[in-house]
Chain A
């Protein structure tokens, strides 16, 4: 039998799910912006480093990165002894690559005319980027970032394999304890939707509202 008690127990997985998702998003943001900038300006011919990073992250399943970190590299990098941190860094690294692509697209959408106008005022490329291109690119990027957060919330469930006590792991514990095969996972599925929807939807709507206000496409 699946009871209210089981449900409340299952809820205990939510904080870790949120923590992994949002920390990895923050890490991805911190990596994504510089990667986009390196790709844009290729300082010291470093553009290929950004390309390589993106290709590698696109090519490896995130679960494999997690396993690699936690089981393969904990000896070299003590940080990865923690299953939680292994999962968060794996997701964050991949998210950095994805977010850099989102920002690249947004930067291109802002358009060359804006760069030209900034240049005509005597701004350096960096000044133009910082004061003109990037603020607009953020707005354009909002819906994409919403989808990225949704992806991270869902993919945080892979951390279950490392034994992190997050939502999927808890639903599995409840399944074993209650021998109820349907409800634990069904409730988990609904909880994932409840977490994901408002965040992604908020960024979507904020994006549309700001785009209308500023006349961005």
Chain B
């Protein structure tokens, strides 16, 4: 059994009167890839933001490498630097080139020297096959290229885990593939990944586990072949029937 990188216990989140997360227990080990699926509004993005330490939980605990994140006086920014995040929304820094985007974190947060940060950034851009686009601004890149720069930006920090929130949801199908290919590649290289996506091909090929989220809870989980073929809960069955049937 590998080391647990990120975990949570009884995680709840409330916005005003609305409980968006209603008690989630979760853990992921080093090298694993886990995929979250579930209907719109079920709380997937919220769950990821909480696990990325971008928002505090209302109740419950989050553990990074076994340490209780919000109750042991840890420096949150230090931890965030170790948890990569790839967003659905365009999130590249628009005033910086692809290279500038990827090297900013290593420079500002990891305090690397400029040439060292640049080497690190070029390496990450190579991993997502964009080294030739290093000097382009986000506005000059396709949506798929932008997402890959976003992945490189996370990679350049040498994170212990990367969280992906529907990284291909706003992309055309061909652009989706180029992003998914990069992500598969990372999963095979042993990068620890927690991915919200409805690209079931990705889930089938590389996921160790799929989690089905509904109404603020993980109501079913299991290995892809099991959960996708024989969902136990009616909600998951219905959701998958619609997703695959495209209705």
Contact = CB atoms under 8 A, between A and B. Distances in A.
Interface stretch (B6-14, B73-81, B116-124, B199-207): B73-81
Contact of A120 (B52, B90, B92, B138): B52
A213 B80 contact: no
Contacts of A117: 85, 87, 91-93
A46 B138 CA distance: 36
B243 interface: no
A127 interface: yes
Interface residues of B, number: 29
Contacts of B52: 120
Contact of B94 (A118, A120, A216): A216
Contacts of A122: 77-82, 105, 109, 157
B87 A121 contact: no
Interface in A121-141: 121-124, 127, 131-132, 135-136, 139
Contact of B153 (A114, A121, A131, A215): A121
A118 to B, nearest CB: 8
Contacts of A120: 52, 54, 80, 83-85, 87, 154
Given A116-B87, A215-B94, A124 B54 contact: no
B193 interface: no
B108 A214 contact: no
Contacts of A114: 91, 93-94
B85 A214 contact: no
Interface string B83-116: 1110101111111000000001100110000000
B139 interface: yes
Most interface-central of A113, A121, A131 (chain B CB within 10 A):
A121
A119 interface: yes
Given A113-B89, A116-B54, A215-B139, A121 B95 contact: no
Contacts of B137: 213-215
B233 to A, nearest CB: 32
A135 B104 CA distance: 13
A210 to B, nearest CB: 8
Interface string B3-45: 0000000000000000000000000000000000000000000
Contacts of A118: 93
Nearest to B82: A122
Contacts of B104: 121, 131-132
Nearest to B107: A131
B77 A214 contact: no
Interface string A64-86: 00000000000000000000000
A99 B77 CA distance: 31
B85 A132 contact: no
Contact of A121 (B89, B94, B139, B157): B157
A124 B83 CA distance: 15
A214 B95 contact: yes
Given A113-B87, A131-B104, A213-B139, A119 B80 contact: yes
A111 B146 CA distance: 18
13 contacts: A113-B89, A114-B93, A117-B85, A120-B54, A121-B105, A121-B153, A123-B108, A127-B108, A132-B93, A135-B95, A136-B93, A136-B94, A212-B139
Interface of B: 52, 54, 77-85, 87, 89-95, 104-105, 108-109, 137-139, 153-154, 157
Sorted from nearest, which 9 A-B pairs have the closest CB atoms? A122-B81, A215-B139, A120-B85, A121-B105, A117-B91, A122-B80, A122-B109, A214-B94, A122-B77
Given A114-B91, A117-B91, A123-B109, 18 more contacts: A113-B91, A114-B93, A116-B54, A116-B87, A117-B87, A117-B93, A120-B85, A121-B80, A121-B105, A121-B109, A122-B81, A122-B157, A123-B77, A124-B77, A127-B108, A214-B94, A215-B138, A215-B139
